[in-house]
Structure 1
């Protein structure tokens, strides 16, 4: 995805973010800066945490059978970008943010397993249609119980995507953004935090 592409979000989450951006654009002179990070992980984060927890128990659940390219940004790099935008004084701009490199689910699994000291993790591929069924059931069940579900139809639309690559050159050129955390380094630090805080 490039900054010049026309956005076509297909989730309530994505549509609400685009609507907020469009609203800010209409406020004449309002000094907004929009950050569009890819998969954010780090201490306290819960979605990737659930994947790490599954890997700890020896299983890695993968959606679909087609290859998937995933991009990440460690929370400290995201904060770095925000402070750089403040320091540079940019206004009325939007930036895609990621580490700048794409990974496969097997690479993510390998880094997490190594950080956890797991020698064997079984990859379990789930058909897209089955994930849809489970997502619908989880969402409706949560509504009945008056709770929120991590897995729902919006999350399904996010998880089924095959390509998460985005162009971060504007942030690099205009903000001097330079990601300091590779996925391997970030996962190691993240797993250490989860362990120290009794999450894993």
Structure 2
């Protein structure tokens, strides 16, 4: 669950349901070869902008959202299941055909608006869905009976403008770049949370999401995945975005 009204809802689905599945798998009387849990880099939280090194699997967790905390809780639950042959995958921001969250940004860019929250610098990371699937399948085939953990990205570091710059280069569409005051966006997020308080849906912009959107540094190391999973990303942002935008156009999303 990537959108929820409160921490309890996130924890129920992301942590408790995952624990239930693991316990059921262990008690089913079948030889369980591997249990792969799709966590998130949000479980570790962002780094400081001027951090000396990228986020690694050993980075002390400091999630900034209830979503990230629920993913961390799930990891802790699963680590406590005795004998579980566990692989944990922590992808950074995932994009690709059919993805709906970043699509909102692409739709805005397609209309000519390139908007940012505040003017502070950011370091971002991304992973194309095909590369994430490749890493996940490699983890599924691990023969190590113990627990393994892998951060997954395309191995690159991007500034906050890279996604829009690549969109413009691929699409050929001009955009107007604007920086919205952080205090204004925070006020809008609070207002939307209030308006949607009794709704079954969650707004695209909310106070939780804002914490991730404004985080200074999401760069992570993929050295562990390269070494143990032989993971080699095939898509940088330009190639992945080109395929993604083609899919959106062919399926009339854009």
1:79 paired to 2:143:
no
Question: Following TM superposition, by how much is the alpha carbon of 1:21 offset from its aligned partner in structure 2, in angstroms?
Answer: 0.3
**Match of 2:125, SS?**
strand
Find the counterpart in structure 1 of residue 151 from structure 2. 96
1:76-132 CA distance string (max 9 Å, x none): 0000001111223344111100011111232211111122221x2111112222221
Aligned counterparts of 1:179 and 1:146: Cα–Cα separation in 2: 38
Find the counterpart in structure 2 of residue 30 from structure 1. 84
Find the counterpart in structure 1 of residue 169 from structure 2. 114
Find the counterpart in structure 2 of residue 65 from structure 1. 119
Moved more, 126-135 or 9-18: 126-135
Aligned counterparts of 2:103 and 2:244: Cα–Cα separation in 1: 9
For the aligned residue pairs, the C-alpha RMSD in angstroms reads 1.2
1:190 paired to 2:244:
yes
Give the structure-1-normalised TM-score. Answer: 0.95
Give the total of aligned pairs.
199
Structure 2: gaps (5+ residues): 1-54
1:138 paired to 2:184:
no
Give the structure-2-normalised TM-score. Answer: 0.75
Aligned counterparts of 2:201 and 2:138: Cα–Cα separation in 1: 38
Structure label with greater radius of gyration: 2
Question: Following TM superposition, by how much is the alpha carbon of 1:12 offset from its aligned partner in structure 2, in angstroms?
Answer: 0.5
Structure 1: gaps (5+ residues): none
Moved more, 106-115 or 179-188: 106-115
Aligned counterparts of 1:70 and 1:25: Cα–Cα separation in 2: 29
CA separation of 1:150/1:172 partners in 2, compared to 1, >3 Å: closer, same or farther? same
Aligned counterparts of 2:218 and 2:117: Cα–Cα separation in 1: 14
Aligned counterparts of 2:183 and 2:148: Cα–Cα separation in 1: 38
Highest relative contact order (Cα 8 Å, sep 6+), 1 or 2? 1
Question: Following TM superposition, by how much is the alpha carbon of 1:74 offset from its aligned partner in structure 2, in angstroms?
Answer: 0.2
Residue in structure 2 matching 1:125, options 165, 179, 195: 179
Higher helix share: 1
